Amino acid sequence: MPHVTQHAINLRYSYPWDLQPRDSAISTAENAAAEIAAVGTTTERTGLERDIDWTGAFWVASGVPPLVLFSIGAVAATVGKLSWLIWIASIALGFIQSFTYAEIAGLFPNKSGGTSIYGAIAWVRYSKVIAPISVWCNWFAWSPVQATGSALAAGYILTGLFAPDAAINTWQINLLDLGWLKTGLTLRINAVFLLGAVIMFSVKFVQDGGILRSANTTKILGISAMVPLLLIGIVPLFTGDIVKAHFFPLAPLAHDALGRVTDGTWNMAGITVLAGGMFLAAWSTYGFETAVCYTSELKNPKTDTFKAIFYSGLLCVVVYTVVPFAFQGFLGLGDLVSEPVVNAAGTVTAPAVYGGMLAPDIYSGMGVAAVMARMVHVGAVGGAVVVVMLILALVLSLMTSMAGSSRTLYQASVDGWLPKYLSKVNAHRAPSNAMLTDLIFNLLLLLLSDSVFVIGAANVGYMIFNFLNLNAGWIHRLDRPRQERPWRAPTWILVAGGVLSFVNLAFMGFGADVYGAGTLTTGLGFVALIAPIFIVRHYWQDRGRFPDVMAEDLGLASGDAAVKRASFWPYVVLAAGVIVVVVTHRLAVY
């Protein structure tokens, strides 16, 4: 008999938010048994499959360490010699935050979709509108890994096979100029788009086979990805390629009036640069919380959920510490390649060009693989093998992203946050419509000419997600004091998470627009799209009622939903969060 929890029983509540039973008659034992049997049949047909243990979730989440490839160049080009410290500090914050997520994930062993789903349930008692923002922001932040990762993988392949000035690398069809959003931003079709699309379709084919096939595939890719990343982080430590001068002085990167690089000072401009680095690094380092996306597919979720996120976090601590350190020690900021071009009016028409970590292809990420291949000293053929393995590492990240983000969409649909069509699963019980939606969205993002801008805008959503869900930890602790917790975080961890939620918003307010003047506005604009989407689902499709399967999760079965033990404090936190973003954004100096 399939596992059926109490919340699967149709309790027939009506709630614009009145939380009162529509009819007070108590079902007979026969009717209740019939309902359970009916729901059990439906669950067996439409639910996700419990196919993996914590090691399976660990391997699916092992696509997070390769995310260092996405932004290591952009962070270095933004903060300069502070880069290695930025990565260490960022993964340390991410590791502390993960313990809050581990506790709230254990509260809902039958839900997939990750931390945002569990956080939304905390916030819904206080605001129907705020709750789905958590889910939407997490998906919006995590999904673009597929577009940016496939673009990088395509770039690695094209750079390795063809000269930079070859026709296949230079042809482009411009579809739309988005310069009003960010200078130089366009929608275009080129070889990177076409090859990247092929890579994404291939990943979806694997994902369509269900979580077990995905976990087995990512285990193979994970091993092939970890080997080069660890070699890149360790080999330079023993070959004498780490140059001390590449790390000091510890000053923020600055530019003079002509755009030439110089050491900055710790004024407001320097703080803005530091926050910009912490902001972008967080998109990569915090990502291992995706390990809890597969809770409803774990054979023993009560014990495996914590193990999955803890060991995924330890792996990320190692990779995000040694790889950026070795990369910076090997490459350095680089020397001036060409002076800035100034016209007769004294206006800079072309900026100064540098090598090293400040090189344009390092900022975009396209040249990172070639540098890393040189770091391990294995010759031309060995270097090519390293590049191939790094491409596999990127594919692994795509696998992790599609698996996690599609399950966020799926569970949000089941719970009544997002449109109903997203809850459809295929014969292998993979969330097929959610994955198709992910694919279409990322094909559109793949048309954009600036991947760093995409990451920056997506990270606006991620910082909001982290803010809401770190605070969901203490809200759940107050509102669900008697609910079983397979793992209970120390109280100081929840307090630290609450403090870090505001620190993350400060990083966003100060640092988002470091990557383009429209980055923060674009991210906030996309966040706002959840309002009409939720209104259509909740008030039109569901007539103001949440699905019956949410009864236990929302506390309807016990009457706990009417009790708001956190009182007015969630509203205070929201107001304070808005103030932090507004103030830090106004203080920022670009």
For residue 130, the SS3 value is helix
DSSP state at residue 12: -
Q: Is residue 416 part of a domain?
A: yes
For residue 163, the SS3 value is coil
For residue 172, the SS3 value is strand
Buried-state track 542-561, b at ≥16 Cβ within 10 A, e below 16? eeebbebbbbbbbbbeeebb
CATH number at residue 515: 1.20.1740.10
Q: Is residue 34 part of a domain?
A: no
Q: Is residue 26 part of a domain?
A: no
Greatest extent of the chain over all pairs of C-alpha atoms, in Å: 90
- Please state the separation of Cα 79 from the chain's center in Å: 22
Contacts of 443 (CB under 8 A, 6+ apart): 147, 197, 200
Per the DSSP assignment, residues forming a β-bridge with 190 are 172
- Report which secondary-structure segment, H or E, holds 34: helix 29-46
Q: Is residue 552 part of a domain?
A: yes
Residue that the structure tokens 């990172």 belong to: 368
What is the pTM assigned to this prediction?
0.85
159, two tokens:
């750079």
Burial class (CB in 10 A: 0-12, 13-18, 19+), 485: middle
Residue 262: phi and psi, rounded to 5, are: -150, 165
User: Helix 130-142 and helix 379-414: axis angle, to 10°?
Assistant: 160
Of 225, 229, 64, 59, the residue nearest 142 (C-alpha):
64
Domain span including residue 496: 47-587
Quote the Cα angle for 347-350-352, to 5°. Answer: 110
Q: Is residue 30 part of a domain?
A: no
Query: How many folded domains does the chain comprise?
Result: 1
Residue 496: phi and psi, rounded to 5, are: -60, -40
- Report which secondary-structure segment, H or E, holds 98: helix 83-106
d(CA 554, CA 535) in angstroms, rounded, equals 19
d(CA 62, CA 400) in angstroms, rounded, equals 7
Q: Is residue 56 part of a domain?
A: yes
Q: Is residue 15 part of a domain?
A: no
319, two tokens:
């990779």
d(CA 523, CA 526) in angstroms, rounded, equals 5
List per-residue pLDDT tens for the chain, 590 residues long: 433 333 333 333 333 333 333 333 333 333 333 333 333 333 334 456 666 778 877 877 777 889 999 999 999 999 999 999 999 999 999 999 999 998 988 888 777 667 888 898 999 989 988 989 999 999 999 899 999 999 999 999 999 899 989 999 999 999 999 999 888 899 999 999 999 999 999 988 887 777 666 667 767 777 877 889 999 999 999 999 999 999 999 999 998 888 889 999 999 999 999 999 999 999 999 988 877 766 667 787 777 878 888 899 999 999 999 999 999 999 999 888 888 888 888 787 888 889 999 999 999 999 999 999 999 999 999 999 999 999 998 988 898 888 888 888 998 898 899 999 999 888 878 888 999 999 999 999 999 999 999 999 999 999 999 999 999 999 999 999 988 888 889 999 999 999 999 999 999 999 999 999 899 999 999 999 999 999 999 999 898 888 887 766 666 555 555 678 999 999 999 999 999 999 999 999 98
CA–CA distances in Å: residue 525 to residues 102, 137, 286, 424, 589: 30, 11, 23, 28, 22
Residue 503: phi and psi, rounded to 5, are: -60, -40
